[in-house]
Chains A and B, each alone.
Chain A
Amino acid sequence: MDYEMKLPITLKPFDWAAFILSLAIFIAFTLFGWKQGGNITYLLIESQDGSALYALSEDRTVTVKGPVGESIIQISEGEASFIYSDCADELCVQSGAISGPGEWAACLPNRVIISTRGGESEVLDAHVF
């Protein structure tokens, strides 16, 4: 018996095309996310009630309401994280803390997204609840 090393399947040209297209779109959006970053100084919290910017330099706890209940976001030592949410799986809490460019965390059931925002260059068009 001879054991050859080979791929379990034979790929065809459009398989590679699909792979490369998908990879290119992935890289494009990743770079886009980083580019928007720069110097991270704010946390943007978006929920059904609107959006609000908070300085990452000030420690605080923010509670927002969504369709399934409350989500609690903690800003501490320049990082932000979900510490509690009224959803079933708490994926948002498991996501951990965010602080760098292009980072985000979300509680999808409760429709809350938090993301990092840059400093002066960004136009502050958000309102505080």
Chain B
Amino acid sequence: MPMFSEKQINRIAMLGALSLFLSTVEYLFPRPIPFMRLGLANIPVILCLDLLPSEKGRESVLPTLAYFLLILLKVLGQGIINGTMASYVFLFSLAGSFASGVMMYLAWRFLKRNITFVGISILGALISNMAQIILSIAFIFGSTAWRILPLFLGIGLVSGCIMGIFAQRFSEKSLWWNKMRDIK
């Protein structure tokens, strides 16, 4: 039995491709501050939450597994575009993306009524940065890595807000997205 229907595969592929495209756009952006990242590629991941089953037994566009598959696609896309696929940066990115993916999923699943994509995106950025700093303390840099954290957290908060506002607005207003949300 196939894991996803053809329609579902198409939607995952669409979101994955969008994420790859946004990674490219991000790569082309100049960085006003070193290490600054906007996190454009995360927009499809956040939006994807819209398509998941919100209550048990209710019909949904995509199963939860598809969300995590999309995160994997996002990380692979970023690895290809940024050329970090064969380095430790890739593993950090993978860990950060999955940690924040789980956090965003839980926030969305359990706080749905009281949170928008803005809060979800801020939490995602926070967890992604924390996970990556903890890994770099454990494996690469030692305790000096704590000093990097404030800058990353500050950037993450600002970019998390911007991406969240965009995703929320897009999810509310886009006709294209509303069509993606249709179950049939």
Contacts and interface: CB of A to CB of B under 8 A. Distances in A.
B119 A19 contact: yes
Given A91-B35, A95-B34, A109-B89, A18 B169 contact: no
Given A18-B123, A22-B125, A115 B147 contact: yes
Given A14-B107, A22-B126, A91-B35, A46 B114 contact: no
Interface residues of B, number: 40
B150 A33 contact: yes
A46 B119 contact: no
A102 to B, nearest CB: 6
Which of B146, B147, B149, B161 has the largest number of chain A CB atoms within 10 A? B147
B140 interface: yes
A16 B164 CA distance: 13
Interface stretch (A5-13, A55-63, A70-78): A5-13
Interface of chain B, helix or strand or loop or mixed?
helix
Contact of A104 (B87, B111, B148): B148
B154 interface: yes
Which of B144, B164, B169 has the largest number of chain A CB atoms within 10 A? B144
Interface in A95-129: 95, 102, 104, 106, 108-109, 111, 113, 115
Q: Size class of A's contact patch?
A: 35 or more
A31 to B, nearest CB: 9
B153 A29 contact: yes
A109 B89 CA distance: 8
A17 interface: yes
Given A9-B172, A21-B126, A88-B83, A14 B150 contact: no
B18 interface: no
B116 interface: yes
Interface in B136-169: 140-142, 144-150, 153-154, 156-157, 160-161, 164-165, 168-169
6 contacts: A22-B160, A26-B153, A30-B154, A91-B35, A94-B34, A109-B89
Interface of B: 31, 34-35, 83, 87, 89, 107, 111, 113-116, 118-120, 122-123, 125-126, 140-142, 144-150, 153-154, 156-157, 160-161, 164-165, 168-169, 172
Given A11-B118, A30-B150, A111-B141, 4 more contacts: A18-B115, A32-B146, A46-B142, A91-B34
